[in-house]
């Protein structure tokens, strides 16, 4: 019998139930700092996208803060395409819980469940990020007065 076989057999059993009408991502058996584990959270934050139509929006930003924090932080991400699914993908890159797109009673929502974090306004806007194409080697120099000079 190997050393490992002598060690105690431990069975961990979990009963998991999705109580919603749409699929839910779960993240289990991590530590308490695992922000993706929102199991047993009752508080839902959702944003109504029923009447929203894309025009030239390529950026999403979201206010978030831990419970009781004085002010919101803002998370910003670019959209890979002009779809609601792309918004969900970008929001899930935040790493706090899971965001889901779903329909309920004829309305379209993006929602997330979280008891530890609060979410505020969600803003869909034009691209806030600028794409730079670097054609030559440049050097950034900060002067004593705080200016940033770009030299070749």
Partner 1 sequence: MIFNANIINHTLPAVSVNSDSNVTYAQIKNSLGQQVYKAEEFYLYSTNFSQLIGVINYNIYDVSGNQNITNIVTTTDPYQVVSSVFVDLTQREKPIILNGNSNFSTTILPNTYLQFQLYNRRITNSFGMNLFNFKELEKITKTNFFNNYGHPIEEIQAVNNEIMQSISKEKALPINTDTDITKSIKENDNKIVYGLLSFIAISSLYVLYKIKD
Q: Tell me if 71 contacts partner 1 by CB under 8 A.
A: no
Reduce the secondary structure of 65-107 to three states and give it as a string. EECCCCCCEEEEEECCCCCHHHHHHHHHCCCCCCCEEEEECCE
Residue 32 is classified by DSSP as T
The CB-of-63 to partner 1 minimum distance in angstroms stands at 8
**Spatial distance between the Cα atoms of 119 and 102, rounded to a whole number of angstroms:** 18
**Spatial distance between the Cα atoms of 18 and 144, rounded to a whole number of angstroms:** 59
Select from 1, 32, 105, 152 the one that contacts partner 1 (CB under 8 A): 32
Beta bridge partners of 148: 142
Q: Tell me if 45 contacts partner 1 by CB under 8 A.
A: yes
**Spatial distance between the Cα atoms of 129 and 138, rounded to a whole number of angstroms:** 20
Considering only 36-44, 77-85, 88-96, 137-145, which stretch makes contact with partner 1 by CB under 8 A? 36-44
Site size with partner 1, rule: CB under 8 A? 52
Tokens of 92: 């899930």
Considering only residues 2 to 31 of the shown chain, the ones binding partner 1 according to CB under 8 A are 4, 7-31
Q: Tell me if 65 contacts partner 1 by CB under 8 A.
A: no
Between residues 32 and 143, which has the closer beta carbon with respect to partner 1?
Answer: 32
Between residues 2 and 143, which has the closer beta carbon with respect to partner 1?
Answer: 2
Residues that bind partner 1 (CB under 8 A): 4, 7-32, 34, 36-49, 52, 57, 113, 119-125
């Amino acid at each position: 019998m190997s050393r490992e076989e002598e060690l105690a057999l431990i069975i961990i059993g979990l009963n998991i139930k999705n109580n919603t009408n749409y699929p839910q991502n779960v993240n289990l058996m991590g530590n308490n700092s695992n922000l993706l584990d929102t199991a047993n959270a009752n508080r839902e934050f959702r944003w109504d996208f029923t009447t929203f139509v894309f025009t030239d929006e390529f950026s999403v930003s979201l206010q978030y803060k831990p419970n009781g924090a004085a002010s919101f932080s803002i998370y910003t991400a670019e959209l890979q395409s002009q779809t609601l699914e792309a918004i969900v993908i970008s929001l899930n890159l935040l790493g706090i819980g899971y965001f889901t797109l779903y329909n309920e009673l004829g309305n379209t929502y993006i929602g997330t469940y979280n008891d530890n974090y609060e979410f505020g306004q969600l803003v869909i806007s034009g691209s806030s990020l600028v794409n730079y194409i670097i054609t030559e080697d440049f050097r950034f120099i900060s002067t004593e007065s705080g200016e940033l000079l770009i030299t070749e």
